[in-house]
Structure 1
Amino acid sequence: MYDVVVSIVLYNSDAETVKNAIVSVLKSPLKLKVYLVDNSLHDSLRVLADIDKENIEYIHIGKNIGFGSAHNLAIRKSRNETNYNLILNGDVYFDSTVLPDIFDYMQKHVHIGQLGVKTLYPDGSLQSSCKMLPTPFDLFARRFIPKPLHGLFKKRMMRYEMQHRSLDDIMNIPNLSGCFMFMRAGVLEEVGGFDENIFMYMEDVDLTRRIHSKYDTIYYPQVAIYHEFAKGSYKSPLLLKYHIKSAIYYFNKWGWFFDKERSKINKALS
């Protein structure tokens, strides 16, 4: 059994960036396995498995099946290999103390189904890695309202991003960043993993929300990771299309303006 199985989904990814993520994982003293699930048409990224042939398994899909679907493949393959899965973006890196720390914390707190950590930009500034459950307005305002008008909604946006709370405190949060999702394998199996109807974007919100309904989903700021965070949907019309499509699916699933569970959860965090 591995202490943790890590899955990283690739799609025409920068090999050097992903290498940094893999090295961050493997320098941990824990017993680890890494699945690289490649949605790229060609398998040029197969060379990344040479970093550690014993503990890295490369899976070439040959077509883009989506973020959640690719991670689900690795989750299913690891079902009998570990008690913990880490869903990791290929543009994340961290030091060797991070995984042992959160592994020990999860071992001691069996009510936790998922854990996220403090997330920083490469320059050391804080990234928004824990949020309330989104309303349609929250997503629209963050993405489409012009910057000169942001001040009109500053208080609401700060609250949505939990900035009214100390981000140095451990908190039970329903919406954790998808770049680093540390989860119990049994919990993942219980809730069914990622919703494969979501191609990309919002799949992390949906999954964390489902876990949160049964277990604690903890923001744990005692350790930190670095995330380059390209904000692809701000630059690519195609990625923006995926983002909008996934948001529509999410709100059709959970409710647009009348979502009693969201109202109850968010009120408790206010």
Structure 2
Amino acid sequence: MNVINVSIVLYHNKKEQIKRIIRSLFLCKNLNIKLYLIDNSKNDTLKELVNIDNHRIEYIFNNMNLGYAKAHNIAIKKSIENGILYHLVLNPDVYFNDNILDELYIYMEKHKDVGNIIPLVKYPNKDIQYLCKLLPSPLDLIFRRFIPFKTLKNKKNDKYELKFTGYDKIMNVPSLSGCFMFLRSDVLKEIGLFDESFFMYLEDVDLNRRIHEKYKTIFYPKVQIYHEYAKDSYKNKKLLIYHIKSAINYFNKWGWIFDKKRFKINNKIIKEHKNLL
């Protein structure tokens, strides 16, 4: 049977939340799933989740908050070392009602030039989450978070989130959400894992960008998942600080104003869909 490894990073999550995503994963009948629960919590009370299926679930307690990127890398390294073809990165607040993994697996098997794929993502009320994006400029992130002028902000943000595409077709997108990343392990072995200098936020943008430069990073709306998506950095000052630090880290790495690759990549996807603007 085909094998896929999955990792979920925990931090004092509600057990029912994690049980829900575990139930979603184990709906899959045609893939042999190994789930790694990587716990950054201050205690190991979530360890009992292994009892749901101790053959398919491995619990790793870090006894400290390593951050999102470093914690996921623990499991991703195991996938690469063990020759597992695909690794799925999941947020704990994701769930799905159908067996979508089989369809994504089949697509990846048919398209060897794809390094990452994400399905259509919806809120629990079934509204679309616009998680396909252009590569960010400093102004994009500033407008999204701090600019109060609604009309101007919405127009710029709608373009940044590629809303003009309709989110109804398969697209090769330079920036995809980290809430669900169906990754090809050989590609990660080639281009590298999550950059651990990102503690939290934008590590998904950075990884997807590196993959996108050599492979396709696909939005696949034929199947869907649900994501609670709390936007915690809009509510919590500590998380906002993490977000700002990650943004500074990202632009120091890729360029602030003068980022030729960003212009080239973004212009390409806009050109492909310019008739919709």
Q: Bin the TM-score by the shorter chain.
A: over 0.9
Equivalence for 2:274: none
TM-score for the superposition, normalised by structure 2: 0.95
Task: For 2:103 and 2:60, locate their aligned partners in 1 and report how far apart those are by CA, in whole Å.
Answer: 29
The residue aligned with 2:112 is 110
1:13-52 aligned within 5 A:
13-29=13-29, 30-52=31-53
1:253 alignment partner in structure 2: 253
Structure 2 counterpart of 1:64: 65
CA–CA distance in structure 2, aligned partners of residues 186 and 117 of structure 1: 21
Give the drift of 1:75.
Answer: 0.7
Whether 1:194 aligns to 2:225 is: no
User: What secondary structure is seen at the aligned counterpart in 1 of 2:103?
Assistant: helix
Distance 1:188 1:77, change over 3 A: same
Give the letter aligned to residue 188 of structure 2. Answer: L
Asked if structure 2 preserves the Cα contact closer than 8 Å seen for 1:2 and 1:31, the reply is yes
Instruction: Work out the CA distance in 1 between the residues paired with 2:143 and 2:262.
Output: 18
Gaps of 5+ in 1: none
What letter matches 2:74 in structure 1? Answer: L
Q: Per-residue CA shift, 1:182-236, capped at 9, x if unaligned?
A: 0101111111110000000000000000000110000111100000011110111
**Equivalent in the alignment of 1:129:** 131
Q: In the TM superposition, what is the alpha-carbon distance from 1:2 to its structure 2 partner?
A: 5.1
TM-score of the two chains, using structure 1 as the length reference: 0.97
Counterpart mapping for 1:66-215 below 5 A: 66-79=67-80, 80-146=82-148, 149-215=149-215
Greater shift, 88-97 or 67-76, is seen at 88-97
* Counterpart residue number, 2:243: 243
User: Secondary structure at the residue paired with 1:5?
Assistant: strand
Taking only the aligned residue pairs, the percentage that are identical comes to 53
**SS class of match (1:33):** strand
**What is the root-mean-square deviation in Å for CA atoms of aligned residues?**
1.0
- Contact 1:130–1:176 (8 Å) recurs in 2: yes
Q: Which amino acid aligns with 1:72?
A: N
Partners of 2:147 and 2:153 within 8 A in 1: no
One-letter amino acid of the structure 1 residue matched with residue 164 of structure 2 = H
Q: Matched residue pairs, number?
A: 268
Q: Which runs of 5+ in 2 are unaligned?
A: 271-277
Letter of the 1:62 partner, please give it.
N
Q: In the aligned structure 2, how far is the partner of 1:102 from the partner of 1:138?
A: 30
How far has the Cα of 1:62 moved from its partner?
A: 0.5
Mapped to 1, the partners of 2:188 and 2:250 lie a distance apart of: 19
Counterpart of 1:57 in 2: which secondary structure? strand
**2:91 aligned partner, one-letter code:** N
Q: Distance in 2 between matches of 1:19 and 1:198?
A: 28
SS, match of residue 164 in structure 2:
coil
Name the amino acid aligned to 1:132: L
Q: Is the 8 A contact 2:79 2:86 kept in 1?
A: no
Q: What is the rounded CA distance, in whole Å, between the counterparts of 1:95 and 1:31 in structure 2? A: 18
- Runs of 4+ that moved beyond 3 A: none
